[in-house]
Amino acid sequence: MVDRQTSGGTSLYSLSFWLLCASNFLFSASFQMMIPELPDYLTKLGGREYVGLIIALFTFTAGVSRPFSGKITDTVGRVPVMAFGSIVCFFCGFLYPYLITVWGFLALRLIHGFSTGTKPTATSAYVADVVPANRRGEAMGTLGLFTAIGMSLGPAIGSWLADDYSMNVMFWTSSAFALLSILILLQLPETLVTKQPFRFRLLRLKKEEIFDKQALPPFIVLLLQSFSSGVILTVISTVSSSLGIANKGLFFTVYTIASLGVRLLFSKTSDRYGRVPILFISTVVLAFSMVLLTLTDPLDSHALIWFWTAAIFYGMSWGMNSPTIQAWTADLSDEKTRGRAMATMYIALEAGIGLGAVVSGWLLNHLVGEAGIDASFIVSGGLALVAVLYLGWFWRQRQKTGHRPMSEADEMALVDGEP
């Protein structure tokens, strides 16, 4: 079935699209700006042994909420679900300064996860609604530019505010960014054609509404890839400190700038050459970045070189991965259950990040010295190679069945009604 927006000739860069990009920038900066400072913050509260839970609790709630957000996205609408995610970010950022016990902090992290469990699901479905099907990779890449800019500037801004002012100022700034994101979302028209009012019975999920089988290939790949993200979010601030880097958010800034460069130069690549080949290359690059991070021994005079080079390659990998995996999921999904498919993909993201955070946190606390950090990077690289093998197998299976990726020319022929 041809996407309704493909046949409608919708312009890629509409006002709604740009408003969505601006909202995504503010949203991603809001929750990302506090990430580099949270391990030290929790340690000062007396919860060093729970550092791995900072990300794990956040992603657990996000993952659990995905099936619900997918269903509400497909029934109530895209915009309300996006707004809900930003509202959660607004309230959590405001409350962090007042919950100053270890368990209060961890409870708030659990609630905060609802933000990324809802907004990205609806955002991806919204983009797939308003852009032509044969330009989804480009559109996801452009949207990802704004997301990546927010994720790049957020950590640096957060560390600057925490160092020069206070943690409370950082938390409140995060809350303000989320509020601006909400105000922008309220200007967006709804794209879901058949809507219904929200009712609590919509939260009752049938078995088939929890997981979209059509999104299984992207689910597997993203689960294996995103383990590395949980590791990075948990241990990279420790690595930065050991190398004498004062601003612990700079690794995030460098890798996001690299991601931006890739998105700017190669946003149309997966539309032209197919999703699987691009994911194959990007996952190899991801594994290589993990290898480089194992070389960042503080006693090695070249450690900083390996550290920043790893940040660049890590950013390059996700600059290719993110828009491609989203476009691939949209390609495989039905229009009526697109929110569910996007939710399934994001469940893999949250599960992978959560596992990476828990495993690396455990290794950090149970292995001596740098061994825990190195082991975390080795496991991440190994899982990325498993994803490479799966993509290779998937590609061969598709070729055996005579399937080939639909090219732009094929897509346009369908739009024009040609066989």
pLDDT at 408: 39
Spell out a b/e string for 223-234, using b for 16 or more CB atoms within 10 Å of the CB, else e.
bbbbbbbbbbbb
pLDDT at 384: 95
> Three-state secondary structure along 203-241?
HCCCHHHHCCHHHHHHHHHHHHHHHHHHHHHHHHHHHHH
Residue tagged 């241990």 (tokens): 235
Tell me which residue of 68, 59, 74 sits closest to 113, measured CA to CA: 59
Rounded distance between C-alpha atoms, residue 144 and residue 17, angstroms: 12
> What angle is formed at CA 295 by the lines to CA 257 and CA 222, rounded to 5 degrees?
55
Diameter of the chain measured on Cα atoms: 67
CB contact at 8 A, 71 and 104:
no
| Non-local CB neighbours of 242 within 8 Å, separated by 6+ positions | 298, 370
- How buried is residue 79: exposed, middle or buried, by Cβ count under 10 Å (0-12/13-18/19+)? buried
65's tokens? 């909420």
Per DSSP, the chain holds a count of helices (H) and strands (E) of 17, 0
> What angle is formed at CA 75 by the lines to CA 72 and CA 78, rounded to 5 degrees?
65
Rounded distance between C-alpha atoms, residue 188 and residue 126, angstroms: 10
Rounded distance between C-alpha atoms, residue 299 and residue 301, angstroms: 6
184's tokens? 């922008």
pLDDT at 368: 65
159's tokens? 């560390």
Rounded distance between C-alpha atoms, residue 224 and residue 385, angstroms: 9
Residue 49: CB atoms within 10 A of its CB come to 14
DSSP state for residue 51 in the 8-state scheme = T
pLDDT at 49: 79
Residue 226 — φ and ψ, nearest 5°? -75, -10
> Helix (H, G, I), strand (E, B), or coil: what is residue 363?
helix
Residue 88 — φ and ψ, nearest 5°? -60, -45
pLDDT at 170: 93
CB contact at 8 A, 383 and 228:
yes
pLDDT at 184: 92
Residue 179: CB atoms within 10 A of its CB come to 17
Q: What is the pLDDT along the chain (419 residues), one digit of tens a residue?
A: 333 443 334 456 778 888 899 999 999 999 888 887 888 888 888 887 787 788 778 878 887 888 888 888 888 888 999 999 999 999 998 999 998 889 999 999 999 988 888 888 888 888 878 887 777 777 877 887 888 788 778 888 888 898 889 999 999 999 999 999 999 998 888 888 778 888 888 778 777 777 788 889 999 999 999 999 989 988 888 888 888 887 777 888 888 888 888 877 776 788 888 888 999 999 999 999 999 999 888 777 888 999 999 999 999 998 888 888 988 888 888 777 777 888 888 888 888 988 898 898 888 887 766 788 889 999 999 999 999 999 999 888 877 766 544 433 343 333 333 33
pLDDT at 415: 34
The per-residue DSSP string of 34-45 comes to TGGGHHHHHHHT
Tell me which residue of 114, 123, 406 sits closest to 270, measured CA to CA: 406
Domains of the chain, earliest start first:
15-190+210-403 (1.20.1250.20)
Integer Rg of the chain from CA:
21
| Non-local CB neighbours of 166 within 8 Å, separated by 6+ positions | none
| Non-local CB neighbours of 315 within 8 Å, separated by 6+ positions | 254, 255, 256, 257, 258, 259, 260, 261, 262
